[in-house]
Amino acid sequence: MKTIKILKSLTLAIALITMSTSFAQDTMMKKDKSKMGMDTKMVGGAEMYPSKDIIANAVNSKDHTTLVAAVKAADLVTTLQGEGPFTVFAPTNAAFEKLPAGTVANLLQMENKKTLQAVLTYHVISGKYSAADIVKAIKKGKGKAEFTTVNGAKLTAMLDGTVVKLIDSSGTLTSVTIADVNQSNGVIHVIDAVILPAM
Protein backbone atom coordinates (compact mmCIF):
# COMPACT_ATOMS: atom_id res chain seq x y z
CA MET A 1 0.00 0.00 0.00
CA LYS A 2 2.83 2.38 0.90
CA THR A 3 4.48 1.73 -2.48
CA ILE A 4 1.22 2.54 -4.30
CA LYS A 5 0.78 5.75 -2.31
CA ILE A 6 4.38 6.77 -3.04
CA LEU A 7 3.91 6.07 -6.78
CA LYS A 8 0.67 8.08 -6.84
CA SER A 9 2.39 10.96 -5.06
CA LEU A 10 5.31 10.86 -7.51
CA THR A 11 2.96 10.77 -10.50
CA LEU A 12 1.02 13.74 -9.16
CA ALA A 13 4.23 15.68 -8.45
CA ILE A 14 5.57 14.99 -11.97
CA ALA A 15 2.26 16.07 -13.52
CA LEU A 16 2.27 19.31 -11.50
CA ILE A 17 5.90 20.06 -12.42
CA THR A 18 5.18 19.37 -16.11
CA MET A 19 2.11 21.63 -16.09
CA SER A 20 4.04 24.37 -14.27
CA THR A 21 6.97 24.17 -16.71
CA SER A 22 4.65 24.17 -19.73
CA PHE A 23 2.75 27.20 -18.40
CA ALA A 24 6.01 29.05 -17.66
CA GLN A 25 7.38 28.32 -21.15
CA ASP A 26 4.12 29.42 -22.78
CA THR A 27 4.11 32.64 -20.74
CA MET A 28 7.75 33.34 -21.63
CA MET A 29 7.06 32.74 -25.35
CA LYS A 30 4.12 35.13 -25.26
CA LYS A 31 6.23 37.77 -23.50
CA ASP A 32 9.07 37.32 -25.98
CA LYS A 33 6.66 37.58 -28.93
CA SER A 34 5.10 40.70 -27.46
CA LYS A 35 8.50 42.32 -26.94
CA MET A 36 9.44 41.58 -30.53
CA GLY A 37 6.13 42.84 -31.92
CA MET A 38 5.34 39.26 -32.88
CA ASP A 39 1.63 39.21 -32.02
CA THR A 40 -0.38 37.37 -34.65
CA LYS A 41 -3.71 38.40 -36.16
CA MET A 42 -6.48 36.39 -37.78
CA VAL A 43 -7.22 37.29 -41.39
CA GLY A 44 -9.53 35.23 -43.58
CA GLY A 45 -9.72 32.46 -40.99
CA ALA A 46 -5.94 32.05 -40.81
CA GLU A 47 -3.34 33.21 -38.33
CA MET A 48 -0.91 35.70 -39.82
CA TYR A 49 2.63 35.24 -38.54
CA PRO A 50 5.00 38.26 -38.31
CA SER A 51 7.89 35.85 -38.91
CA LYS A 52 6.58 35.10 -42.44
CA ASP A 53 6.66 37.32 -45.52
CA ILE A 54 3.65 38.97 -47.18
CA ILE A 55 3.04 36.18 -49.70
CA ALA A 56 3.58 33.32 -47.22
CA ASN A 57 0.82 34.79 -45.05
CA ALA A 58 -1.55 35.98 -47.78
CA VAL A 59 -1.85 32.54 -49.41
CA ASN A 60 -3.47 31.24 -46.21
CA SER A 61 -6.25 33.84 -46.08
CA LYS A 62 -9.49 32.55 -47.58
CA ASP A 63 -10.57 36.20 -47.99
CA HIS A 64 -7.65 37.02 -50.29
CA THR A 65 -7.65 34.25 -52.91
CA THR A 66 -8.45 36.74 -55.71
CA LEU A 67 -5.63 39.05 -54.64
CA VAL A 68 -3.15 36.15 -54.48
CA ALA A 69 -4.24 34.96 -57.95
CA ALA A 70 -3.79 38.50 -59.28
CA VAL A 71 -0.33 38.84 -57.71
CA LYS A 72 0.71 35.55 -59.33
CA ALA A 73 -0.70 36.58 -62.73
CA ALA A 74 1.17 39.89 -62.51
CA ASP A 75 4.47 38.16 -61.65
CA LEU A 76 4.77 40.14 -58.42
CA VAL A 77 5.25 37.18 -56.05
CA THR A 78 9.05 37.49 -55.96
CA THR A 79 8.79 41.25 -55.41
CA LEU A 80 6.46 40.89 -52.42
CA GLN A 81 8.64 38.14 -50.99
CA GLY A 82 11.59 40.53 -51.13
CA GLU A 83 13.25 42.34 -48.27
CA GLY A 84 11.03 45.43 -48.54
CA PRO A 85 9.74 46.70 -46.30
CA PHE A 86 6.34 47.20 -47.92
CA THR A 87 2.99 48.51 -46.76
CA VAL A 88 0.26 46.60 -48.60
CA PHE A 89 -3.39 47.61 -48.69
CA ALA A 90 -4.99 44.23 -49.34
CA PRO A 91 -8.49 44.14 -50.88
CA THR A 92 -10.65 41.17 -49.93
CA ASN A 93 -12.44 38.89 -52.39
CA ALA A 94 -15.62 40.85 -51.61
CA ALA A 95 -13.81 44.06 -52.57
CA PHE A 96 -12.91 42.63 -55.99
CA GLU A 97 -16.55 41.54 -56.44
CA LYS A 98 -17.62 45.20 -56.21
CA LEU A 99 -15.84 45.92 -59.50
CA PRO A 100 -17.94 45.85 -62.70
CA ALA A 101 -18.71 42.34 -63.96
CA GLY A 102 -15.84 40.84 -65.94
CA THR A 103 -13.21 43.31 -64.66
CA VAL A 104 -11.20 40.78 -62.66
CA ALA A 105 -11.31 38.12 -65.38
CA ASN A 106 -10.20 40.74 -67.91
CA LEU A 107 -7.30 41.92 -65.72
CA LEU A 108 -6.08 38.34 -65.30
CA GLN A 109 -5.66 37.95 -69.08
CA MET A 110 -2.01 37.69 -70.14
CA GLU A 111 -2.33 40.65 -72.52
CA ASN A 112 -3.41 42.89 -69.62
CA LYS A 113 -0.46 42.04 -67.39
CA LYS A 114 0.94 45.60 -67.35
CA THR A 115 -2.45 47.04 -66.39
CA LEU A 116 -2.77 44.46 -63.62
CA GLN A 117 0.70 45.31 -62.36
CA ALA A 118 -0.24 49.00 -62.35
CA VAL A 119 -3.38 48.28 -60.29
CA LEU A 120 -1.63 46.03 -57.78
CA THR A 121 1.42 48.25 -57.25
CA TYR A 122 -1.03 51.10 -56.54
CA HIS A 123 -1.93 49.13 -53.40
CA VAL A 124 1.68 49.14 -52.17
CA ILE A 125 3.78 51.82 -50.48
CA SER A 126 7.53 51.43 -50.06
CA GLY A 127 8.37 51.37 -46.35
CA LYS A 128 6.49 50.09 -43.31
CA TYR A 129 3.62 52.35 -42.24
CA SER A 130 1.62 51.24 -39.23
CA ALA A 131 -1.91 52.57 -38.70
CA ALA A 132 -0.43 54.94 -36.10
CA ASP A 133 2.09 56.24 -38.67
CA ILE A 134 -0.71 56.89 -41.18
CA VAL A 135 -2.89 58.63 -38.58
CA LYS A 136 0.08 60.77 -37.53
CA ALA A 137 0.64 61.80 -41.16
CA ILE A 138 -3.08 62.61 -41.55
CA LYS A 139 -3.04 64.82 -38.46
CA LYS A 140 0.15 66.51 -39.61
CA GLY A 141 -1.54 67.20 -42.97
CA LYS A 142 -4.55 68.70 -41.15
CA GLY A 143 -6.98 65.98 -42.17
CA LYS A 144 -5.30 64.40 -45.19
CA ALA A 145 -2.03 62.66 -46.02
CA GLU A 146 -0.71 61.89 -49.46
CA PHE A 147 1.45 58.84 -50.13
CA THR A 148 3.35 57.88 -53.25
CA THR A 149 2.69 54.26 -54.16
CA VAL A 150 5.10 51.83 -55.82
CA ASN A 151 3.05 52.52 -58.95
CA GLY A 152 4.28 56.12 -58.78
CA ALA A 153 0.76 57.52 -58.42
CA LYS A 154 -0.55 59.28 -55.32
CA LEU A 155 -2.93 57.82 -52.76
CA THR A 156 -4.72 59.96 -50.18
CA ALA A 157 -5.51 58.88 -46.61
CA MET A 158 -7.96 60.51 -44.23
CA LEU A 159 -9.82 59.72 -41.02
CA ASP A 160 -13.51 59.03 -40.55
CA GLY A 161 -13.75 58.99 -36.78
CA THR A 162 -11.11 56.42 -35.88
CA VAL A 163 -11.24 54.57 -39.22
CA VAL A 164 -8.53 55.17 -41.80
CA LYS A 165 -10.00 55.79 -45.26
CA LEU A 166 -8.17 55.78 -48.58
CA ILE A 167 -9.15 57.80 -51.63
CA ASP A 168 -7.89 56.75 -55.06
CA SER A 169 -7.35 58.87 -58.16
CA SER A 170 -11.01 58.59 -59.19
CA GLY A 171 -12.35 59.46 -55.74
CA THR A 172 -13.29 55.91 -54.74
CA LEU A 173 -13.29 55.57 -50.97
CA THR A 174 -12.17 52.45 -49.10
CA SER A 175 -11.85 51.67 -45.40
CA VAL A 176 -9.11 49.84 -43.54
CA THR A 177 -11.01 46.98 -41.86
CA ILE A 178 -8.04 45.16 -40.28
CA ALA A 179 -4.94 47.20 -39.52
CA ASP A 180 -1.37 46.34 -38.58
CA VAL A 181 -1.06 42.75 -39.78
CA ASN A 182 2.70 42.62 -39.35
CA GLN A 183 4.92 40.66 -41.73
CA SER A 184 8.65 39.89 -41.79
CA ASN A 185 9.01 42.31 -44.72
CA GLY A 186 6.40 44.94 -43.90
CA VAL A 187 2.76 45.28 -42.91
CA ILE A 188 -0.66 44.54 -44.41
CA HIS A 189 -3.80 46.62 -43.90
CA VAL A 190 -6.96 44.88 -45.12
CA ILE A 191 -9.32 47.12 -47.13
CA ASP A 192 -12.91 46.72 -48.34
CA ALA A 193 -12.61 48.09 -51.90
CA VAL A 194 -10.14 47.95 -54.78
CA ILE A 195 -8.36 51.25 -55.33
CA LEU A 196 -7.47 52.22 -58.88
CA PRO A 197 -4.82 54.54 -60.31
CA ALA A 198 -5.63 56.91 -63.18
CA MET A 199 -5.42 54.84 -66.37
What pLDDT is attached to residue 170? 87
Whether 131 shows a pLDDT value over 50: the answer reads yes
pLDDT of 63 above 70: yes
Where does the pLDDT of residue 14 fall: very low under 50, low under 70, confident under 90, or very high at 90 and above?
very low
pTM metric for this prediction: 0.80
Q: Are 88 and 186 in contact (CB under 8 A)?
A: yes
Rounded CA-CA distance 129/12 in Å is 51
Instruction: Specify whether the CB–CB gap between 173 and 140 falls below 8 A.
Output: no
Quote the pLDDT of residue 38. Answer: 56
**Mean pLDDT of the region 152-177:** 95
CA atoms within 13 A on the CB side of 55: 15
Percentage of the chain with pLDDT > 70?
A: 81
User: pLDDT tens-digit profile of 180-193?
Assistant: 999 999 999 999 99
